[in-house]
Structure 1
Amino acid sequence: MKKESSVTLKTGELSGRVTRARAAAHCSSGKLPPLKERSQQNQKQLSRVNSKRAASDNTCVPRKKRTVLQDVTNVCCENAYTSCVNSNKIQAKKRKLSKAAQVNVSKVVPSVAVDSMQFQADSKAKSLQETALKSEDTMCSINLEHKELLRPSSNECNMDVRLPESQMSGISGQPLISQNKDKKGNLSTVLTALKDQGVTGIDDDLEDPLLCSLYAADIYDTMRVAELARRPYSNFMEMVQRDITQSMRGILVDWLVEVSEEYKLVTDTLYLTVYLIDWFLSKNYIERQRLQLLGITCMLIASKYEEINAPRIEDFCFITDNTYTKAEVLKMESQVLKSSEYQLFAPTIKTFLRRFLRAAQASYKDPSLELEYLANYLAELTLMDYGFLNFLPSIIAASAVFLARWTLDQSNHPWNPTLQHYASYKASDLKTTVLALQDLQLNTDGCPLTAIRTKYRQDKFKCVAALSSPKLLETLF
């Protein structure tokens, strides 16, 4: 904006804002008196520097009008994407028209009369544009009662509300909210049918997203398939290995239990470590001097997968009294990852034990911590025994729950319809595994591997390692 100066008019003449060009023209014609002294004019300009007004006090500057917001609720979100596309286009068009309408208002015009006329014309045009846009909003609105889009004609709304086919390919014709309602409805029907069969539903807590109640059954069905596909060979000691024995493997696992306690690792890390060891030994020959190196490397990989803060490589080297260097651990890590084809996850005993314990707790008024600790203790005992590779992780988890319930309570049958439904095993299917697990539990004198028994003799685990189960009756199976 060009700098302007005002002059004092004679008494009786009209007062107003004049530019330098107008003042010079009037002075040359003799209609205006000469300007004041330069010093007085500079003082007057300095007093008005901070205000920077575009017009004099007598000039009426039009105030900018803010566009009225339309419906800002999210009640239309159920109709996926289409309403959002319409609203975006309309808002973009509104902003464009509003800016065009405000261009003339923001400019400084040479006279007050022209400025007033221009503002009135712009205001009238702007009101007409807003009225037209409101009518477009009304025509392009969504009928919430019938849940369908009101498609205007080309004359009423110059926009296509349909999405391109490339974008519609990933969008279901039914809203996601309706799909979730249908899923919940189907789940409620299933739970009602289970109650009629005497089965307590453990997936009825739909409000807790951590339980994944809508998908838990499908998830564990997938786990049952994965435990067959990613299963180590149960005879790799006889078929693949020549320099290590079953007892060496047991000593290694017993030591890794102590390492996991030393670094406070979660139980899932221990299970995954043992799985990676067995998987590698099923595929590759190894010397006994490198067996401990394999153990700490598999625990390092499992820690990276399961832990929030995994121990460093130097920590695992230190725990072996620096028998192995960092370079050796990294080289073994590469070999283990290549052997597993970088598919680290596999369902372990712990994976199924969580599900079966939840089903077992359904018969108690209050959750039994003793049952949980005892079942975990029995399941961890099987990690050291090479013979339990003959059993699937799911059947070992079910047998641990069976034996834990029998150890704590002999008045009721340890296997009820709820456990049978969610474990998909009958009591007769568990007989061989339960008997082998009981022998392992009662073999306290002849077993030199004591890390797990020492761990579960602590008070924080309610000393469940000191418990012993009574003789199993044939009638239980």
Structure 2
Amino acid sequence: MTRRSGRLQAKHEHGSTHGDKIAKIKKEQCSRKKTQKRLNGGTQNLRVQEGTSKAEVLTETPMEGLQDAFDRPAFLHQTQLCPLPQLSWGSSEDVWVKMLSKETKYKHSKNSLERHPRLQPKMRAVLLDWLMEVCEAYFLHRQTFYLAQDFFDRFMLTQENMEKERLQLIGITALFIASKIEEIYPPKIMELAYVTDGACLEEEILQMELIMLKALNWDLVPETVVSWMKLYIQMASVYDFTNLLVPQFSQETYIQITQLLDLCILDINSLDFKYGVLAAAAFCHFISFDIVQKVSGLSWEMVEGCVNWMAPFVETMASYERAKLKEFVKVSSDDRHNIQTHVDYLSMLHEAQQKSTIPVNGIFPPTPPSSAEKSSSH
């Protein structure tokens, strides 16, 4: 495999180290704090005034404390503005609030493995890596894979004492459900049973589908990591707000970021973070934080832990061959970046995890609280 040196950085930040970038962002944030007053505690209702161009979303952060933005008050800590422009096809404020509410509704946590003593984090990584291979073989979209990943992780959070022999059945069933939601022409169930090499029968997939749907309470429309990422990069690249739904970003840059997300999602510690934060942290490694903050509404304090956790993955990925756009039969050139691809992620994951166990200045990086713990603390 061809290797290259260097780190993934924004074009105008070549040569700077991860530590330099973190120090620069902290300095900028400290400067802002001196000129801004924070709103004190208490609760107020989320207010969207009819006829206004922008709504002030009153919440502790865009990703935290939003209980149910439509009929329950949000916890107040600072004012966040909706970053979306005026939309001709709907209310930008409603769209934004709906996306934020899903971060609270669809809970995930790495603590799910505590409910399954016989399972190890590597088993999850191997399963998701295999699902990426299946997606590429059948030209399935990235969103399909990330839906399947979300279904799998949330389902495991509802179960106990699962045997490792059942993981492939759960994984392929999650992909079966996701493909029917996302794909115009989803693979037939016989095709998905075939790729398991006889390990999963069609009847078993159908039975597991019912079990999973009931366990998930039919909640099947989360904002995935890749949907947040697509929004952020679109907002950072947009030049024609009248066609916001039409991709206006570089496909080459997009696949670099999504490959980093693919690698990170294999590590179960990625579930410590909300999807919107995970996507924002990945974006931080390719562009200035000022832009990330503008398109996400997240403060540096909200993404710092994730950015630091992600650093070994960025370093590892930079030592491998740069991701390239692939050509797919019957896939148009303007959609090829959306097709889920696969590389030797397991080797990359092993290297990244080895790096993450090395202390910095004799100090091991702290483990941030899970998304569930963050929500419960408010």
Q: TM-score range by the shorter chain?
A: 0.5 to 0.7
Residue 431 of structure 1 and its aligned partner are, at CA, apart by 1.7
- Are the counterparts in 2 of residues 226 and 346 from structure 1 also a CA contact under 8 Å? yes
In the alignment, the residues of structure 2 paired with residue 308 and residue 289 of structure 1 have an alpha-carbon distance, to the nearest angstrom, of 31
- In the alignment, what sits opposite 2:289? 415
Shift of 1:459: 5.3
In the alignment, which residue of structure 2 is the partner of 1:456?
Answer: 323
CA distance in structure 2 between the aligned counterparts of 1:244 and 1:393, rounded to whole angstroms: 24
By how many angstroms is 1:353 displaced?
1.3
Provide closer, same or farther for how the CA distance between residues 363 and 390 of structure 1 changes in structure 2, counting only shifts above 3 A. Answer: farther
Partners of 1:253 and 1:224 lie apart in 2 by 26
The higher relative CO (CA closer than 8 Å, separation ≥ 6) is in 2
TM superposition shift of 1:342? 1.4
- Cα distance change of structure 1 residues 315 and 363 upon mapping to structure 2, 3 Å threshold: same
1:228 aligns with 2:113: no
1:371 aligns with: 253
- The 5 A counterparts of 1:299-378 are 299-362=175-238, 367-378=249-260
Contact kept in structure 1, 2:82 and 2:93, CA below 8 Å: no
CA distance in 2, matches of 1:295, 1:454: 28
Contact 1:203 1:216 in 2 (8 A): yes
- Name the amino acid aligned to 1:358: Q
Secondary structure of the structure 2 residue equivalent to 1:269: helix
SS at match of 1:324: coil
Residues 118-167 of structure 1, C-alpha deviation per residue, up to 9 Å, x if partnerless?
xxxxxxxxxxxxxxxxxxxxxxxxxxxxxxxxxxxxxxxxxxxxxxxxxx
CA 296–355 in structure 1, closer or farther in 2 if over 3 Å, else same: same
| Alpha-carbon offset, residue 325 of structure 1 | 1.3
Write out per-residue CA displacement over residues 7-35 of structure 1, whole angstroms, 9 at most, x where no aligned residue. Answer: xxxxxxxxxxxxxxxxxxxxxxxxxxxxx
What root-mean-square deviation, in Å, do the aligned CA atoms of Structure 1 and Structure 2 show? Answer: 3.3
Equivalent pair of 2:155/2:212 in contact (CA under 8 Å):
yes
1:186 to 2:61 alignment? no
Q: For each residue in 1:187-216, what CA deviation from the matched residue of structure 2 results, as whole angstroms up to 9, or x when unmatched?
A: 2899xxxxxxxx997625x5xx5xx4x423
SS of 2:107's partner is: coil
TM-score (norm 1): 0.48
- Separation of aligned partners in 1, 2:94 and 2:295: 12
Q: 2:158–2:215: 8 Å Cα contact kept in structure 1?
A: yes
TM-fit CA distance, 1:226:
1.6
Unaligned runs of 5+ in 1: 1-181, 191-198, 406-413, 447-452, 467-477
- State whether structure 2 residue 322 is matched by structure 1 residue 440: no
Asked whether the equivalents of residues 375 and 401 of structure 1 are also in contact (C-alpha less than 8 Å), the reply is yes
* Secondary structure of residue in 1 paired with 2:157: helix
Normalised by the length of structure 2, the TM-score is 0.60
Report if the CA contact (8 A) 1:202-1:358 is conserved.
no
Report the 3-state secondary structure (helix = DSSP H, G, I; strand = E; otherwise coil) of the residue aligned with 1:186.
coil
**In structure 2, how many angstroms separate the alpha carbons of the residues matched to 1:456 and 1:352?**
20
Q: 1:370 to 1:200 in 2, by over 3 A?
A: farther
Describe the shift of the 1:372–1:445 C-alpha distance in structure 2 as closer, same or farther (beyond 3 A): closer
- Structure 2: how far apart are the matches of 1:421 and 1:402? 12
Aligned residues: 252
CA distance in 2, matches of 1:216, 1:202: 6
